[in-house]
Amino acid sequence: MVVDSSAIYAIIAGEPEREQLSDVLDAASRAWVSAATLTECVVVMLGKKTPGDPVAILERFIRIYRLKVVPVDEAQWRLAAEALSRFGKGRHPARLNYGDSFSYALARSLDAPLLFKGDDFAHTDIRPAL
């Protein structure tokens, strides 16, 4: 399973979906996250003034949920660009943004379901984890 920033932030911030998302992540035999997705999480956490050091919080999250951090390589870049072309804001009802495109790319490259909050990815060809 690949984890999107929306699921990560919902768990960290204690949003109403936290328990359900956390349970799915706990039950996963393997879970991956794009390095670009983690950077998007930092942007969100700083913007929402989440207390604490975002990097330390995310490092702890990675340890707790045993996430494998995947770097962005050329294949990921191409899949992310394709996602924005097909499903990007202003182009498609999915309205994927820059950060979303990397979660999409990783899920596509691994042929893995994606754990996310909201309905943006539901308008794409990605298999939901929940």
Spell out the domain ranges in the chain. 2-117
pLDDT band at residue 95 under the 50/70/90 scheme: confident
Q: What three-state secondary structure class fits 11? A: helix
Annotation-wise, does 100 bind a ligand? Answer: yes
Mean pLDDT score of the chain: 95
Please answer whether residues 20 and 128 qualify as being in contact, where contact means their C-beta atoms are separated by less than 8 angstroms. Answer: no
Q: Token digits for 34?
A: 């794009």
pLDDT at 88 (0 to 100): 86
120 labelled ligand-binding: no
Q: So what CATH class is 2-117?
A: alpha beta
pTM for the structure as a whole: 0.94
Task: Give the integer Cα–Cα distance in Å for 80 and 83.
Answer: 5
8-22, 39-53, 91-105, 115-129 — which is least confidently predicted?
Answer: 91-105
